[in-house]
């Protein structure tokens, strides 16, 4: 998964457009993009959409962002959407591993109730939306076998901190958000799940988006959330390993398999050792899984 497109569940038009956007996953949103007065209609629309969309041959992965654990709405959300068997539930405002175990238990009950395969529903955590969540990032690892991704977000965190803005005059995130981003990346690695970069809210600025994607990929993020269909191709391209990167990774793997007892080899004047081999193997695995998921001609 490279691109995850948010779609407000109460917009039939956007749900339909999302399906043809090329996004690897749709996040059908019941939380912040849906007004309180529209929650019930959004749940019904989400359930109907999921049931139809999951039958599609070349469909994106279907994720539902439910309302958080402290809202009093999450059980109603899950009751509405779980019968349609979403691929994953996204948990906003996650505060550490206990929240993940709590959600995992709720999901397990519904899987049993609705005849879904045990363990078939993954969990993606948005885990930096408040200060407590940031401090609890280290407890996500090992919380549940369902956890498949850790995403970070800077919008709700700014509200929690009482900040005027999360960006400085230079246009970049300020220190508290850089810290949250870095810790979320480490938490994803510690939990051995995908690190997912936050949304880029200026959806008309595709160059700025491309630049933020490059920074994210450089640092180890494998995917980014989107809020507008125009962002999807930019994200997909940025998070698809380039032909050059794949060729270089192959070269590294081949150099080590030709010299199985070597701890270090030289390739075109550069020292390549075991950590580089691990990076190369990861990149090739990612390229292979994207190729396997791509539509067949």
For residue 24, state whether it binds ligand COA (rule: CB under 6 A).
Answer: no
* CA 199/CA 202 separation, integer angstroms: 9
For residue 156, state whether it binds Mg ion (rule: CB under 5 A).
Answer: yes
Q: Which stretch binds ligand COA (CB under 6 A): 188-196, 214-222, 227-235, 259-267?
A: 227-235
* CA 8/CA 227 separation, integer angstroms: 10
For residue 227, state whether it binds ligand COA (rule: CB under 6 A).
Answer: yes
Q: Which is nearer to Mg ion, 128 or 236 (CB)?
A: 128
Nearest to 277 by CA among 297, 255, 247, 246: 255
Binders in 241-280 for ligand COA, by CB under 6 A: none
CB of 223 to Mg ion, least distance (A): 18
Q: Rounded to the nearest 5°, which phi and psi values hold at 150?
A: -120, 120
Q: Which stretch binds Mg ion (CB under 5 A): 79-87, 102-110, 148-156, 279-287?
A: 148-156
CB of 31 to ligand COA, least distance (A): 7
Q: Which stretch binds Mg ion (CB under 5 A): 100-108, 154-162, 188-196, 233-241?
A: 154-162
Nearest to 194 by CA among 237, 148, 239: 148
Binders in 187-226 for ligand COA, by CB under 6 A: 199, 203
Helix residue ranges per DSSP H, 222-263? 231-238, 243-258
CB of 256 to Mg ion, least distance (A): 44
Place of tokens 């509405």: 80
Which of 24, 29, 129, 197 binds ligand COA (CB under 6 A)? It is 29
CB of 129 to Mg ion, least distance (A): 6
Which residue is at the shortest CB distance from ligand COA? 6
**Own/partner pairs, 39-48, CB within 8 angstroms, 24+ separation:** 39/67, 39/73, 41/10, 42/8, 42/9, 42/10, 43/9, 43/76, 43/77, 43/80, 43/81, 44/80, 45/9, 45/10, 45/12, 45/15, 46/9, 46/80, 46/81, 47/80, 47/81, 47/83, 47/84
Binding site partner of 274, from Mg ion, ligand COA, none, Cβ cut-off 5-8 A by kind: none
Where do contacts with ligand COA occur on this chain (CB under 6 A)?
A: 5-8, 13-14, 17-18, 29, 32-33, 199, 203, 227-229
Where do contacts with Mg ion occur on this chain (CB under 5 A)?
A: 32, 156
């Amino acid at each position: 998964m490279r691109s995850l497109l948010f779609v407000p569940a109460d917009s039939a038009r956007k749900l339909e457009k999302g399906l043809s956007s090329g996004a690897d996953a749709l996040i059908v949103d019941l939380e912040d993009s849906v007004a309180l007065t529209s929650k019930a209609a959004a749940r019904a629309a989400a359930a109907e959409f999921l049931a139809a969309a999951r039958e599609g041959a070349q469909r994106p992965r279907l994720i539902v962002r439910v309302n958080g654990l402290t809202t009093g709405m999450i059980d109603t959300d899950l009751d509405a959407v779980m019968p349609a068997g979403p691929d994953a539930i996204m948990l906003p405002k996650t505060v550490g591993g206990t929240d993940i175990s709590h959600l995992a238990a709720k999901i397990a009950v519904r899987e049993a109730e609705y005849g879904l395969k045990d363990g078939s529903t993954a969990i993606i955590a948005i885990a930096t939306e408040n200060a407590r969540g940031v401090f609890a990032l280290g407890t996500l690892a090992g919380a549940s076998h369902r956890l498949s991704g850790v995403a970070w977000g800077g919008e709700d965190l700014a509200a929690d901190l009482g900040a005027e803005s999360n960006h400085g005059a230079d246009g970049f995130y300020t220190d508290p958000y850089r810290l949250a981003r870095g810790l979320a990346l480490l938490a994803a690695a510690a939990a051995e799940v995908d690190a997912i970069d936050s949304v880029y809210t200026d959806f008309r600025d595709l160059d700025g988006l491309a630049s933020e994607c490059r920074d994210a990929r450089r640092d180890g993020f494998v995917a980014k959330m989107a809020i507008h269909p125009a962002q999807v191709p930019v994200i997909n391209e940025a998070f698809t390993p380039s032909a050059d990167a794949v060729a270089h990774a192959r070269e590294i793997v081949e150099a080590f398999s030709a010299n199985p007892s070597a701890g270090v080899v030289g390739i075109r004047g550069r020292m390549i050792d075991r950590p580089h081999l691990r990076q190369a193997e990861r990149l090739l695995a990612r390229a292979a899984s994207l190729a396997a998921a791509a539509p067949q001609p």
